Structure 1
Amino acid sequence: MTPKAPVPSFDELLSSATRSALHLEMRDVYAVAEEEEEVRLWRSGEWTLDDGRKALAGWMDLVESITKRGVSVRRARIVSVPVTDYIRYEHALSPLNLSAGEEVRWLPRREALGIPLPAADFWLIDERLVRFNHFSGDGQAVDPEMSEDPAVAALCASAFAAVWDRATPHGEFQL
């Protein structure tokens, strides 16, 4: 068996994009270690958008650098309604994604019925390279996986397009 190639960092992956970087999120809760303190502050009411800006500074710089090159960065989120506290946190944070140059849309899970979806969240780079983000049942990030299989990329492109077409732009999405 051939060992898996290392998965590039998000900086490397997104910096390699020449046309598009598409992100589909499908979980209602993420328990990513680097967000733990931010989420705690948000829940306690101590969090501000400036706190989020500080926490996301590296991400925002990366997105700004690639969108300035003309790369389209779009994020679609499929969410259960009523939404979880974590989704409320993401919604509160999304203006920062927008200010960095991302487009963000939201789709209630019931409206996603009938869309063939891959089993995991993903980033699709230039409709050719897929990074699957795997999570444990409790939302902890586990080893990501890459695919350059054209059929897998086509499934992800089709799924993203269908979700994007049905989804509501961030500014219009009501929690």
Structure 2
Amino acid sequence: MSSSVPTFAEMISKCTRSAVHLEMRDAYAVDYEKGPFADWKRGFRHDLADQASWWRPWLDLMQETASRGVVVRRARIVSEPVSQYTQFLYDGTFTNVVAGEQVRWLPRRRASDIALPGNDFWLFDERVVRWNHFAGDGTAGDKEVTEEPAAAKLCADAFEAVWSRAVPHDQYEIR
């Protein structure tokens, strides 16, 4: 990551109204042999009642952000039937919701006529875009930030179009 790009925590701490995140990949690079995804594949599932076992710094950040009145929304465009990785994300999304995020899912076939940016992104206060670049194998690449009005408008319009069609997390059924 370039040193000129602020950290995500720095960017969201300056956010005053809204932070939206659009995810469009069916898998992101993870360690398939160890870690949370491997544990999930072996049958581990978080227990809603045991918050201490799954709460993590990301959730602290989201809870703090939401408590400041910032509306945090995440939309995921997914292929169906979903990938194993998407199923893993779905099973753990209740943690994001508990922390204050609103999450929706949109089957990819229902997104065909939406003009989408070429990359996943975060959009802060409808004006600052943080692009998330990934390699073909799903590993994270450099981050890029722009305040270009046309890019912010593209992201805002795309996100709202996805959001309006997407299914709230508690209503989405994995296929």
Structure 2 vs 1, CA of residues 139 and 54 (structure 1 numbering), >3 Å: closer, same or farther? farther
Are 2:46 and 2:92, in contact at CA under 8 Å, matched by a contact in 1?
no
Letter in 2 for 1:58: P
Q: For residue 25 of structure 2, what is the aligned residue in structure 1?
A: 27
Q: For residue 144 of structure 1, what is the aligned residue in structure 2?
A: 143
The whole-number CA distance in structure 1 between the counterparts of 2:69 and 2:162 is 23
1:1-175 equivalences under 5 Å are 6-32=4-30, 37-49=35-47, 54=53, 56-175=55-174
Say which is worse superposed, 52-61 or 103-112, in terms of deviation: 52-61
Compute the displacement of 1:169 (Å). 0.2
Are 1:49 and 1:93, in contact at CA under 8 Å, matched by a contact in 2?
no
Say which is worse superposed, 160-169 or 138-147, in terms of deviation: 138-147
The CA deviation string for residues 94-134 of structure 1, in whole angstroms up to 9 with x for no partner, is 10000000000000000001100000000000000000101
Compute the displacement of 1:138 (Å). 1.0
What stretches of structure 1 of length at least 5 have no aligned partner?
none
Compute the displacement of 1:46 (Å). 2.9
Q: CA RMSD of the aligned region, Å?
A: 1.8
SS across alignment from 2:35: helix
Compute the displacement of 1:15 (Å). 1.1
* Deviation >3 Å, runs of 4+: 49-56
Are 1:52 and 1:93, in contact at CA under 8 Å, matched by a contact in 2?
no
The CA deviation string for residues 57-98 of structure 1, in whole angstroms up to 9 with x for no partner, is 101110111111100000000000000010001101110000
Aligned residues with identical type, % of pairs: 51
The whole-number CA distance in structure 2 between the counterparts of 1:81 and 1:109 is 7
Structure 2 vs 1, CA of residues 165 and 47 (structure 1 numbering), >3 Å: closer, same or farther? same
Are 1:18 and 1:71, in contact at CA under 8 Å, matched by a contact in 2?
yes
The whole-number CA distance in structure 2 between the counterparts of 1:18 and 1:131 is 16
What stretches of structure 2 of length at least 5 have no aligned partner?
none
SS across alignment from 2:116: coil
The whole-number CA distance in structure 1 between the counterparts of 2:53 and 2:14 is 25
Bigger fraction of residues in helix: 1
The whole-number CA distance in structure 1 between the counterparts of 2:63 and 2:92 is 16
The whole-number CA distance in structure 2 between the counterparts of 1:53 and 1:103 is 21
Are 1:75 and 1:103, in contact at CA under 8 Å, matched by a contact in 2?
yes
Compute the displacement of 1:47 (Å). 4.0
TM-score (norm 1): 0.91
Letter in 2 for 1:84: S
